[in-house]
Amino acid sequence: MSNQVNIAVDCMGGDDDAAFVLPGLLLTLKKYPNIKFQLFGDEKTIKSRISQYRAVENASDIIHCDTYVKMDEKPSNAIKNGRGKSSIWIAIEHLKRGDADFMVSAGNTGALMAMSTLILKTISKIQRPAIAAIWPTINGETIVLDIGATIGFNKKQLIDFSILGASMAQIILDVERPTLSLLNIGEEEIKGLDEIKASHEILKSTERFFKYKGFIEGNQIGRGFSDVVVTDGFTGNVALKTAEGTASQISKYFKDSIDRSIMAKVGYLFAASAFRSLREKMNPSRLNGGVFLGLNGIVIKSHGKTDPIGFSSAVELGIDMHRAALLDKIKSNIELTEKDVNID
């Protein structure tokens, strides 16, 4: 039995003309030699670039697509104009048919989610998919979801997200029984929207494959208070963008402080190794890749402004998900949850 992993790659999505895709695949190939790429996009464009990366060329099949989804295109227009012919659409179709083990794109998030949901459908018992991100913390890493797939929400969706997030944590964090919290405006049980409080009561009654710790506030996410933090897509996206902006702000403050005087530069030299470690922990490329959870297929969304290292990280995340049989784990955990509560 072959352990080869077949990966569908959208080569047209992302900023800067997606120039990071092929060098990113080369980095992945060096770590995982037994993989095969299916490259979706304009054949002429891909061929003009891939000659620089012979190893990737030898491990790839190019599938020509007539069009691609623009980064600022509305999902509805992307579906209307790209149905059956855009690089994202055709790549997802290959995933659905079983020709690929997972799909990765740095393209338009809304269009990617809309097309993925339309083609793959959600797993039975899951109402809506969620986007999960790996969040660096003081104590390691935390899975945070949803970070943008849903705007409105209900208690059913928060329960679904809890199952999905805990399943991902079992794989990525290698924790048999991950801890889980709901993001709220306070830790007290009387606080929060009715949907959040109702989800809280349900989660307290089912802990077969995760340990529920109750409510968590936004300032506790980075402390590594829980392995999984669950929220709605609007709140999660705001929290994520705020954290990214804060990290960028701190980095700018730090750089300005060093440039301010000779003594500061000398001090930096003595503490260079510590600062390099800090910079690595805050490097967004290291944990690049949002996972579309809850679909009948593994779809990885890379940041559109990433670099080759970041894109490679997103691909490697998909490899880990596939090899650990993420979809089977989710379905098994749904069955475990249903022994305690009705999640229909």
pLDDT in tens, 223-266: 899 999 999 999 988 888 888 777 777 777 777 777 777 776 66
pLDDT > 80? residue 301: yes
Strands 140-145, 211-216: parallel, antiparallel or unpaired by DSSP?
A: unpaired
Residue with tokens 């999905």: 164
Q: Average pLDDT of 260-288?
A: 65
Strands 60-64, 35-41: parallel, antiparallel or unpaired by DSSP?
A: parallel
Q: What is the pLDDT of residue 241?
A: 82
Residue 292 CA to residue 64 CA, distance in Å, equals 25
First to last CA, the chain: 38
Question: Do 302 and 311 contact (CB within 8 A), yes or no?
Answer: yes
Q: Average pLDDT of 200-214?
A: 90
Sequence-distant (6+) residues with CB within 8 A of 157 are 127, 128, 130, 150, 232
Q: What is the pLDDT of residue 268?
A: 62
Q: What is the pLDDT of residue 188?
A: 87
pLDDT > 50? residue 39: yes
Q: What is the pLDDT of residue 116?
A: 97
| Structure tokens belonging to residue 118 | 């339309």
Q: Of the given ranges (129-133, 196-200, 287-291), which has the lowest mean pLDDT?
A: 287-291
User: How sure is the predictor about 1, in pLDDT bands with cuts at 50, 70 and 90?
Assistant: very low
Q: What is the pLDDT of residue 276?
A: 63
Q: Average pLDDT of 24-49?
A: 95
Establish whether domains 1-120 and 124-290+325-344 are of one fold: yes
Q: What is the pLDDT of residue 63?
A: 96
Is residue 146 reached through a cis peptide bond, with omega within 30 degrees of 0 on the bond before it? yes
Instruction: Please give the angle made by the CA atoms of 270, 273 and 276, to the nearest 5 degrees.
Output: 125
CB atoms within 10 A of CB 260: 10
Q: Average pLDDT of 165-188?
A: 94
More confident residue, 285 or 224: 224
User: How sure is the predictor about 37, in pLDDT bands with cuts at 50, 70 and 90?
Assistant: very high
Residue with tokens 């039995």: 1
CATH no. for 124-290+325-344: 3.40.718.10
CB atoms within 10 A of CB 202: 19
Q: Is 155 left (phi over 0), alpha (psi -120 to 50) or beta?
A: alpha
Residue 203 CA to residue 206 CA, distance in Å, equals 5
Nearest to 126 by CA among 165, 152, 94: 165
Residue with tokens 């054949």: 43
User: Where along the chain do its domains lie?
Assistant: 1-120, 124-290+325-344
Residue 250 CA to residue 57 CA, distance in Å, equals 40
pLDDT > 60? residue 219: yes
Domain 1-120, what fold?
Isopropylmalate Dehydrogenase (3.40.718)
Question: Do 40 and 63 contact (CB within 8 A), yes or no?
Answer: yes
Nearest to 306 by CA among 6, 13, 7: 13
Residue with tokens 């993420």: 326
Sequence-distant (6+) residues with CB within 8 A of 231 are 144, 145, 146, 158, 161, 182, 183, 239
Please give the single-letter amino acid code of residue 24.
G
Question: Do 187 and 342 contact (CB within 8 A), yes or no?
Answer: no
The highest-confidence range among 99-113, 147-161, 200-214, by mean pLDDT, is 99-113
Q: What is the pLDDT of residue 2?
A: 61
- pTM as predicted: 0.90
User: How sure is the predictor about 275, in pLDDT bands with cuts at 50, 70 and 90?
Assistant: low
Q: What is the chain's mean pLDDT, rounded?
A: 89
CB atoms within 10 A of CB 105: 31
Q: What is the pLDDT of residue 187?
A: 86
